[in-house]
Structure 1
Amino acid sequence: MPSKKVTWLLPSLLVVPFYVWGFDYQTPSISPEVNSGYEEKPGWSADDFAVAAANPLAADAGYQVLKAGGNAIDAAIAVQMVLGLVEPQSSGLGGGAFLLYFDGSDVRAYDGRETAPKAVDAELFLEDGEPLEFMEAVASGRSVGVPGTVRLLEKAHMAHGRLPWEALFRPAITLAEDGFEVSQRLHSSLANDQALRDNPLARAFYYDAEGQPVEVGETLKNPALAAVLKRIAEEGSRAFYQGDIAQDIVNSVRQHPERPGELALDDLETYEAIAREPICTPWQQWEVCGFPPPSSGHLTIMQILGMLDQQPLLEAPLDDGVTSSGWLHQFLEASRLAFADRNYYIADPDYVEAPGGDWTTMLAPSYLAKRSALIGKQSLGSDVEHGEPGAIETSWVAQPTQPEYGTSHISIVDAEGHSVAMTTSIEQAFGSRIMVDGGTDLPGGFLLNNQLTDFAFEPEQNGDPVANRVEPGKRPRSSMSPTLIFDQESGELVGSLGSPGGAAIIHYTARTLMALRDWGMNAQTALNLPHAVTLGDEVWLEEGRFPDAALDDLRERGHNVSERELTSGLQAIMRLEDGSLFGGADPRREGVVMGD
């Protein structure tokens, strides 16, 4: 990998020798693939190491770091910095991330989730007592949380990195200075976003005088981002969280023309990435490790899978290459039950208590057996109550469903068998639509997140508080689900995976785990399967991917079914029985896997 199967996409690259002070990045001659519709991908094999990322240029940066002797943490930093340049709609310096790292013996969890400014209160998204329209809140200064990605990566690198910090920024700096070819996905995202045109810096950088976006294949340079990256590379995270760059971020948020935010310099200076205990859950022959709250991903995924394991199958899971309507019914019902618990209990653990004092009470087999017993032949519908896995002091109220978006995922396995699963985000496409140049006065820059819209807009209902309400310094609940898989008996790494997709990340990842463990699929075949999603009410099936008979059967079972595009961005790398690696990239996006 690159292999003969994919030379059409990934030509051989010259990689120079590794030197003790770092490595020399070689600009690749790769044109990112078109992401319109669904494009089959072959899957990729490797013997020693592999990196999967949402854009070929980002994957190549990680590949070159690994080739030069860097480890999985080093490669993740290089990949993220390039993603922020070539895929700015999904992640970057102005956002946050969750990172799982396996160092050969232990799994570490690093929380770089954004935090609410200290000056906000629970009514952040209320005006005259009523919640703002979602996009009014998104495209504003109020939605911007304190970015966490830079401090997260620095913390992980200080603990585990091998190559010098400064060397890992060279790929992104080189591409920002020399330019990269605009991909179809970036062009389409720009074309479909009116709010971004309202930001003067973004309009001047991404659009022409008539408001038309940069064309596919056009070489785009970002000198402002290059200058900011150089500062961070030379001075570390303090260059981002203090001084000119921090001041420009604060000014841009507080001077928003319509709805300014409360972000202050002190919020940036005092931000900390947190090392948390991952949650590792036995699941038959595997142990699945994921992120604890404030992520709802792992708990909700493993609730769904735990309930399904206790269900007698209504019919075989697969029917002519797609998931059968009987299996879909059970999967969707388990999702309804799991999301009812998610919406009631899960929030920042520094602000809410876990049921029974331990989040794993939500995964107890006896509790999941009770929940699974509620699944019948007909849908429970939208009126699903939360369960009671353990006692809590506070009487919460369930958070109403509201949109969640965005993100990108990186999976890496290095030559020593150490692995990263990192999901990274600025939330909605192009985040808050606030672009900053870091005080450089150069063209370009980076976008700030809108992660605070992941909080509940309404802090209470009928006098009872919502667990995921806005509070000063709090981290909003997330659905990001970076996942590492291990063999229960040997403890050896089995795989790394994850996806973007807002709340649907949970469904994408859960279904992929089922396909990998139970249905005999390799990483690429599992990622190709069509999607089905419910957040508790409507059911969305991936448009054009299921037979009419499946939709009709689900409707007869009481599901409110419609079709829509479900653009996941799954990445997965699995260890095969012979010790080699096999990776897959979602056919719905432009990602690839590279390795040797």
Structure 2
Amino acid sequence: MTHAARRLALACSIVLVIPLSQARTPVASGTGGAVATISEQASQSAMAILDKGGNAIDAAVAAAATLGVTDPYSCGIGGGGFMMIYLAKDKRVIAVDHRETAPASVTPTVFQENGKDSDFDATLASGASVGVPGTVRGWHEALSRYGTMSFKQVLAPAIGVATKGFEVSDNFHRMSAENQKKLQLFSSSSALFLKNGKPLAVGTVLKNPGMAKAYRDIGAQGQKAFYQGPIARAIVDAVGKPPVAAGVRVRAGAMTMADLANYEARIRQPIKTTYRGYEVYGMPLPSSGGIAIGEALNLLEGYNLKTLPRASAEHLYMEASRLAFADRNAYLADPEYVDAPVAGLLSKDYAARRRTQMNAERAGPKVLAGDPYPFQNDPSVPQRPQAARLLADNAHTTHLTVSDKDGNVVAYTFTIESWGGSGIVVPGYGFLLNNEMTDFDFSGPHPNVPEAGKRPRSSMAPTIVLKSGKPAFTVGSPGGATIITTVLQTIVNHVDFGMPMDKAINAPRLSQRNDAATDAEPGFAGSAQALALEKLGYKWRAKAEEIGAANAIVFNADGTVTAVSEGKRHGVGSALVQKSAN
């Protein structure tokens, strides 16, 4: 089995952690601030900060910190992410990149053994898979530049949840069971998430005093508490000498205190394109999400989708995605290491040429990358594409979105990579370390091979959409490479098909990523919609799984806001507003 196939086999959507005693609603409308997450506690944490006068940035960090407690298998301070911020006063969008980086010891052959790729599964749960975490530094940059509250204030709700605990839900139990073998490899992980080697029973109150301690230290000392001193030493020790159970051996990593002390977040210019009168702002490299979505929207803009039969319009959405993925796979990587042809890929003229390769009547075959360089307006010597190949990212991430009464907006996606990341809980501090290094290509030549200090390519796509210069809606999702198609399909559902955002999110999802088969969710195959697409040549992947878990906020024309989370996937998401419209 190839690495890509193994990644795809591992792929599933984020866990929904539901306190058994609390009801939740996936849609809420009203005035003032709004929040949508997949965790009731996380949404409540954000709302508590908004109610105390904090802004959207403060509230987003509070929600994210709480998700690190209630949703530890998909996110936390042991990982990294991408935060998009709209500042109402300045009328501008900012991208905060706090993606993990490769330690300084890494070389392009770090995952090569005797001329062959290292075993992917063995690499997945090891110290060698851990990238330098960026989340805490990202939170620091967001708060210090754009927030109004201190770490101590915004981490307080999460400390409360970690200290008092939360009830293990069916989904949390299921994810623990799916990760049982990985967790059993490490004594610190077994001690926190298992009992006698088995997943905690549904209804068990899970407390995490170690994470509460980590948050208290960060609250007292700021980001230095994480990147220097005892927490940093504990991370380095866990990577270099993983806390394995008796008789277990895993590959060690080579992270140093200097790697942590030297980590920097980046403030980047967002990707911007236009679509049917909207301004679409997306995450730039090293995330491929904003570029791929922008290119696909440019391709679709040449068709009047709302006048077409549904099957024909969905066919065009999937073919646009196919072409965008071919280009994404060939060209995109960390912009500090690769001079990717971003301007060319986002050119409307390039889209017009690329559109000639779309067959409006039939599903196309796997396609090669296009040539965006003539559309670059760049006199430098171009880097021509490598052979395109499909890479299925792990799908274990979370997305949240927050707005405040002043009109500031945050769309935030962050992760520790696969479910449970590396599987290594940092002893004494209760958080899992990422396995983000597996997002690199194990061999080259390829723009996304590992290099010292490099950030692995991502598909995360927090998106903020404006109309007439004002926020219209936000949307984002977890799901590895399916993040791109989930966000793209939701935009098409909402803008082209005129669906209210809750229906746009709850509609069946299809994900075509330049492969022979298309991913479809359980129950889709055999439906009238599926049969109509099969007549156009589509084939469905044999294993059907839920795709993504989106969250969104819509800014209505009457001045109200509508927060929207999932209504079916993973149970029910949590949407809250400060003042209900009812």
Fold shared, TM-score > 0.5 on shorter chain: yes
Instruction: Tell me how far 1:195 sits from its aligned partner.
Output: 1.2
Residue among 418, 436, 440 paired with 2:426:
436
Aligned twin of 2:308: 316
Residue among 457, 461, 466 paired with 1:481:
461
Instruction: Tell me how far 1:41 sits from its aligned partner.
Output: 5.8
CA 1:398–1:67: 2 relative to 1, 3 Å: farther
- Give the SS at the match of 1:84: helix
Instruction: Tell me how far 1:566 sits from its aligned partner.
Output: 2.3
Does 1:518 find its partner at 2:496? yes
Give the alignment of 1:362-511 within 5 angstroms: 362-376=345-359, 377-390=361-374, 393-398=382-387, 400-404=389-393, 405-437=395-427, 440=428, 445-460=430-445, 466-487=446-467, 489=468, 491-511=469-489
Instruction: Tell me how far 1:389 sits from its aligned partner.
Output: 4.1
TM-score, reference length from structure 1: 0.87
Partners of 1:273 and 1:367 lie apart in 2 by 32
8 Å Cα contact 2:67/2:76 also seen in 1: yes
Which letter maps to 1:559?
Y
Aligned twin of 1:199: 186
Residue among 201, 206, 219 paired with 1:215:
201
8 Å Cα contact 1:311/1:372 also seen in 2: no
CA 1:141–1:403: 2 relative to 1, 3 Å: farther
- Give the SS at the match of 1:595: strand
Partners of 1:92 and 1:577 lie apart in 2 by 36
CA 1:32–1:446: 2 relative to 1, 3 Å: farther
Aligned twin of 1:333: 319
Partners of 1:577 and 1:214 lie apart in 2 by 47
Which letter maps to 1:543?
P
Partners of 2:192 and 2:145 lie apart in 1 by 37
Partners of 1:592 and 1:349 lie apart in 2 by 35
Aligned twin of 1:19: none
Give the alignment of 1:43-58 within 5 angstroms: 43-58=27-42
Partners of 1:480 and 1:310 lie apart in 2 by 26
Does 1:573 find its partner at 2:553? yes
Partners of 2:198 and 2:95 lie apart in 1 by 42
- Give the SS at the match of 2:32: coil
Partners of 2:535 and 2:373 lie apart in 1 by 32
- Give the SS at the match of 1:436: coil
Aligned twin of 1:320: none
Partners of 1:166 and 1:30 lie apart in 2 by 25
Cα distance per residue 1:365-393 (max 9 Å; x no partner) = 11101111111122221243333344653
Instruction: Tell me how far 1:553 sits from its aligned partner.
Output: 4.2
CA 1:450–1:152: 2 relative to 1, 3 Å: same
| Uncovered stretches (5+) of structure 1, i.e. residues with no partner | 1-28, 35-39, 318-323, 461-465
Instruction: Tell me how far 1:591 sits from its aligned partner.
Output: 2.3
8 Å Cα contact 1:297/1:505 also seen in 2: yes
Q: Which deviates more, 531-540 or 541-550?
A: 541-550
Partners of 2:401 and 2:20 lie apart in 1 by 21
Partners of 2:153 and 2:387 lie apart in 1 by 47
Instruction: Tell me how far 1:252 sits from its aligned partner.
Output: 1.0
Percent identity of equivalent pairs: 37
- Give the SS at the match of 2:66: helix
Partners of 2:306 and 2:44 lie apart in 1 by 44
Which letter maps to 2:452?
P
8 Å Cα contact 1:179/1:219 also seen in 2: yes
Aligned twin of 2:80: 96
Aligned twin of 2:569: 588
Which letter maps to 1:413?
S
Instruction: Tell me how far 1:280 sits from its aligned partner.
Output: 1.9
| Uncovered stretches (5+) of structure 2, i.e. residues with no partner | 1-17, 243-248
Q: Which deviates more, 583-592 or 152-161?
A: 583-592
Residue among 506, 514, 522 paired with 1:536:
514
Residue among 142, 150, 154 paired with 1:164:
150
Give the alignment of 1:123-142 within 5 angstroms: 123-142=109-128
Partners of 1:315 and 1:398 lie apart in 2 by 37
8 Å Cα contact 1:384/1:536 also seen in 2: no
Partners of 2:25 and 2:569 lie apart in 1 by 10
8 Å Cα contact 1:47/1:580 also seen in 2: yes
CA 1:436–1:371: 2 relative to 1, 3 Å: same
CA 1:161–1:329: 2 relative to 1, 3 Å: same
Instruction: Tell me how far 1:546 sits from its aligned partner.
Output: 5.2
Q: Which deviates more, 130-139 or 525-534?
A: 130-139
Partners of 2:492 and 2:367 lie apart in 1 by 27
Give the alignment of 1:287-298 within 5 angstroms: 287-298=279-290
Does 1:61 find its partner at 2:48? no
8 Å Cα contact 1:532/1:540 also seen in 2: yes
Which letter maps to 1:520?
G
CA 1:292–1:32: 2 relative to 1, 3 Å: farther
8 Å Cα contact 2:19/2:166 also seen in 1: no
Aligned length: 541
CA 1:509–1:418: 2 relative to 1, 3 Å: same
Cα distance per residue 1:403-443 (max 9 Å; x no partner) = 31211011011010100011010011100111113xx3xxx
Which letter maps to 2:439?
D
Does 1:269 find its partner at 2:261? yes
CA 1:195–1:265: 2 relative to 1, 3 Å: same
TM-score, reference length from structure 2: 0.89
Instruction: Tell me how far 1:485 sits from its aligned partner.
Output: 0.9
Residue among 210, 223, 227 paired with 1:237:
223
8 Å Cα contact 1:412/1:496 also seen in 2: no
Aligned twin of 1:10: none
Aligned twin of 1:561: 540
RMSD: 2.0
Aligned twin of 2:11: none
Q: Which deviates more, 177-186 or 109-118?
A: 177-186
Partners of 1:583 and 1:133 lie apart in 2 by 43
